[in-house]
Chain A
Amino acid sequence: MNIIDLIENANKNFPDRQAYKFHEESMTFREVYDTAYSVATKICLNSQENSPIVLILNKNIYVPSIYLGVALSNCFYVALSTEMPKSRIEEIVEFTQAKLIITDGESLDMVKSLKFKGGGIFTIADCINQEKDVSLVESRRKNIIDTNPLYVLFTSGSTGTPKGVVTSHGAVLDYVETFVKTFQISKDEIFGNQAPLDYIAGIRDIYIPMLVGCKTVFLQKNLFSTPKILFEKLNQEKVSTICWVSPALALCCHFGVFDEVKPLYLKKIFFTGSVLDCECLNKWKEELPNALFVNHYGPTEITASCTFYIVDNSLNYKKIPIGKAFANRKVFVLDENNKLAKENQVGEICVTGRCLASGYYKNPQKTKECFVQNPLNDCFPELMYKTGDLGYLGDDGNLYFAGRLDNQIKYMGHKIELGDIEGLANSCKGINETCCIYDTKNSVLVLFYSGEASAREISIFLRESLPSFMIPRKFISLESLPKLYNGKIDRQSLKAQLGL
């Protein structure tokens, strides 16, 4: 089995069911399948097998067909956000040595202005209007094996070698199948997609419909700035299931949207990406007492999520567990001596199983650091991913998240290395030193700095290289930053200034 078999089965079993909807446009599984062959023909004619195809697309009804078209031609996609700074896009395109970029009409001018040696730039329209050459596509398709990459996903990080997580057909298939089985996802489900489609959380919304015949409604991004209209949209589309990053759920509580509109059809609510505030969870539970609430945990490198916890609606939580491993993967905690940690002892969360990514694209060194031989197994090769996340196994048999080994934070579901922001800010003219703190109370990134640069100058400078979610929204200028005895910046005292 590979991902293409999914859509082929869908086309056989429920061709005329609606698969995706965006605004007023929708597509059936048959249309998705047919369109994928047109896209694949275009790609086969213009690129080598097993090569990266860069996609720079806004949310669009054709995105799933494009993904499948890339896969059908035995290539893999590198989906980049249209909001990524131009310099970063150029860096990644150069790094992957991609020869082909597919984009949409909206982004075409930007893409054409990129420094791009490959040469081939096509729009969605070019791809879907391509005359199909089924035998050409089949000659590629027969070569697909399920350890081939389906996509390479570049995680945030602004400095140094881009970090691209290579994920195989098999890993995605394993996740989708396990998810559907675990939560009994049926063909009547209607997903409301929040995550950008170039982001890991989007894989549920894209691939689950192909397996069970249900539908995903893509919600445009600015709905999340206007929660009331968002909830009205959920009702209008009869959305029954959402897999959203925790901050998107938090946003709805924060603005008290339940007082205005109640989601009438929501039955299953999956949250992931970062720790959800218990107060917020309680609010959701109170409003939707019969809904299923599930916490999810997992980094991109283990394909979407590896543990889940079903919330008990009768309990009041102080801390929501990340729960237990999904079927077909092992998730455990190792202490600093690489031994299994005892109950309640904090250690690093580690994962084995078919869900593991294949490694980092063209980055053997980083791959070797994070994907290692399972130290508990000295009998045969068994790959283990070290998440860099801290956790412990509680008395109740559930895993709990306990922070990061490094200075990484999760903001709105995005992994952010605070050092990346500081490193770049330090190179801004008129800045002496900086320290970036995540204000967890107000969900705001704060940059403390010294130097004569203005907030405006720093913000503009950072926006040239960083995506929006990595830009601090508060800049605090100090004469000099407080130091510890060893000369390092005293983060704790800055946190205290923010009342944290």
Chain B
Amino acid sequence: MEELMKILNDARPDLDFSKEDKLIDDNVLDSFDIITIVGDINSTFDININVGDLVPENFNSADAIWNVIQSYLNEQ
């Protein structure tokens, strides 16, 4: 989780990710952010997030993103 928080805070140091829960629904993150964040997650965790998982409910909060990463790591 720490690594994820670092990625998120690097991309958007202006946000408090522990509080946000509508990152996509409320357009808090835009596609510029998503590209950066997904790219960093893929290289940090050595996974390849499938486009099918790029849905609002998976990216609305740090916890939700963490769950997605976990599900990839568990599959490996």
A interface residues with partner B (beta carbon < 8 Å): 221-222, 224-229, 251, 254-257, 259-260, 412, 442-444, 454-456, 458-460, 463, 468-469, 471, 473-475
Contacts and interface: CB of A to CB of B under 8 A. Distances in A.
Given A222-B24, A255-B38, A442-B39, A260 B51 contact: yes
A225 B9 contact: no
A229 B35 contact: no
Contact of B32 (A228, A260, A456, A468): A468
A363 B10 CA distance: 38
A256 B50 contact: yes
For the complex, would chain B's binding face be called helix, strand, loop or mixed by DSSP majority?
helix
Given A224-B31, A225-B29, A256 B51 contact: yes
B59 A460 contact: no
Contacts of B9: 455-456
B36 A473 contact: yes
Contacts of B30: 221-222, 225, 468
Contacts of A463: 14
Interface string B47-59: 0011110111001
Given A255-B49, A259-B51, 15 more contacts: A221-B27, A221-B31, A222-B56, A225-B24, A225-B30, A226-B24, A226-B56, A228-B54, A251-B31, A256-B51, A442-B36, A444-B36, A463-B14, A471-B32, A474-B11
B51 A473 contact: no
Contact of A456 (B14, B24, B33): B14
A456 B13 contact: yes
Given A254-B35, A468-B30, A459 B13 contact: yes
A225 B54 contact: yes
B5 to A, nearest CB: 13
B35 A459 contact: no
B34 interface: yes
Interface residues of B, number: 27
For the complex, would chain A's binding face be called helix, strand, loop or mixed by DSSP majority?
helix
B35 A227 contact: no
Nearest to A254: B35
A455 B15 CA distance: 12
Interface of B: 9-14, 24-25, 27, 29-36, 38-39, 49-52, 54-56, 59
Contact of B13 (A228, A251, A443, A455): A455
A225 B25 CA distance: 11
Given A257-B51, A468-B30, A443 B10 contact: no
A227 B54 contact: yes
B24 A228 contact: no
A224 B51 CA distance: 12
A277 to B, nearest CB: 13
B40 to A, nearest CB: 9
B10 A228 contact: no
A228 to B, nearest CB: 5
B14 A474 contact: no
Given A225-B29, A254-B35, A474 B10 contact: yes
Given A229-B55, A463-B14, A475-B10, A412 B32 contact: yes
15 contacts: A221-B27, A221-B31, A222-B56, A224-B31, A225-B24, A225-B30, A226-B56, A251-B31, A444-B35, A455-B9, A456-B9, A456-B13, A459-B13, A463-B14, A468-B30
A175 B25 CA distance: 36
A227 B49 CA distance: 13
Contacts of A259: 50-51
B16 to A, nearest CB: 10
A348 B52 CA distance: 44
A203 to B, nearest CB: 22
A475 B13 contact: yes
A228 B52 contact: yes
Given A221-B30, A251-B31, A228 B14 contact: no
Nearest to A256: B51
Contacts of A455: 9-10, 13
Contacts of B55: 226, 228-229
